């Protein structure tokens, strides 16, 4: 994803919603909120397109890595067979090919992991942006009703410039509505922060867990394979002694 898109989305996510609401009240219109909503929707669509592209790349890189890793594993077994049969020339050629496949496999693995992190970051940003869009759309309707109510009752002769101004007027219904808007914005912002933190922790755990499992599996193959090989050698030695 282009850095400029990252920057735009971060700006939209971190936008001060209280300030947006205050500007809407100052202009006695929800147009400023409508413009924010349009920007979020445009960038959300661009983000989803980019995420789909990166997600496809992740799948491709993972598939290529797994294919190469499987080929390398088979080739490694074939080399053992060639060495046992004394076909050293073929074993050397196969070993050279194995080295190439292992190196290429590692490169694909690193690219896969890098793209996976990028993909998860984009999904995280989409989660934030969708949550912000839903909340702003809801508050737009509440604000529109509030503006209409304030206009109808004409509770003050001066221009309403912010939620703070509304909470100072004497009309209890308008004061209550404005405070509810403020509280909902604060509450949704807090929920968004918690959701993002939880998702980040899950991503980190998944990545770390996958790496640990890979390391353990590699260790199992080495140790169990070594033990099995050692057992066969020992058995072979006993047979030779017996002969």
Q: Please tell me whether residues 118 and 176 are part of one structural domain.
A: no
- Regarding whether 4 and 115 lie in a shared domain, the answer is yes
Q: Name the domain boundary from 101, 126, 151.
A: 126
Residue 131 lies in a domain: no
Residue 134 lies in a domain: no
**Shared-domain flag, residues 31 and 95:** yes
Dihedral (CA of 211, 217, 220, 221) sign = negative
C-alpha to C-alpha distance for 74 and 76, rounded to whole angstroms: 5
4 and 122 in a single domain? The answer is yes
The number of folded domains in the chain is 2
Q: What local confidence, expressed as pLDDT, does residue 10 receive? A: 83
Length of the chain: 243
Domain for residue 199, yes or no? yes
The predicted pLDDT at position 234 comes to 44
H helices of 14-87, in order, are 17-26, 31-84
* Same domain, residue pair 74 and 121: yes
Residue 190 lies in a domain: yes
229 — phi, psi (to 5°)? -60, -40
- Kindly state whether residues 119 and 191 are assigned to the same domain: no
* Of the candidates 133, 124, 69, the residue with the CA atom closest to the CA atom of residue 102: 69
In a domain, 154, yes or no: no
- Please report whether residue 153 resides in a domain: no
Which residues in the chain show pLDDT less than 50? 155-158, 203, 227-243
Which residue among 126, 147, 170 closes a domain? 126
Query: What pLDDT is stored for residue 61 in this prediction?
Result: 94
* Domain stop point among 70, 98, 126: 126
Is residue 68 a part of any domain in this protein? yes
**Domain of 196, in residue numbers:** 162-229
Whether residue 50 is found in the same domain as residue 111: yes
């Amino acid at each position: 994803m282009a850095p400029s898109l990252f920057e735009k989305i971060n700006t939209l996510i971190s936008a001060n919603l209280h300030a947006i609401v205050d500007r809407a009240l100052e202009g006695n219109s929800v147009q400023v909120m409508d413009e924010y909503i349009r920007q979020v929707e445009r960038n959300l669509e661009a983000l989803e397109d980019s995420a789909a592209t990166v997600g496809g790349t992740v799948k491709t890189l993972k598939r290529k890595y797994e294919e190469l890793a499987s080929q390398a594993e088979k080739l490694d077994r074939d080399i053992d067979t060639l060495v046992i049969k004394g076909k050293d020339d073929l074993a050397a050629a196969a070993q050279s090919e194995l080295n190439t496949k292992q190196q290429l496999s590692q490169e694909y693995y690193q690219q896969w992991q890098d793209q996976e992190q990028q993909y998860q970051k984009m999904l995280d940003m989409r989660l934030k942006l969708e949550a912000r869009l839903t909340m702003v759309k809801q508050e737009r309707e509440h604000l529109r009703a509030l503006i209409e109510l304030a206009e109808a009752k004409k509770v003050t002769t001066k221009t309403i410039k912010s939620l703070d101004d509304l909470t100072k007027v004497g009309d209890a219904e308008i004061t209550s509505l404005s405070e509810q808007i403020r509280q909902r914005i604060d509450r949704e912002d807090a929920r968004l922060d918690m959701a993002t933190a939880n998702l980040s922790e899950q991503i980190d755990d998944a990545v770390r867990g996958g790496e640990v499992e890979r390391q353990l599996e590699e260790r199992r193959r080495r140790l169990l394979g070594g033990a099995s090989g050692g057992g066969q050698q020992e058995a072979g030695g006993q047979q030779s002694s017996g002969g």
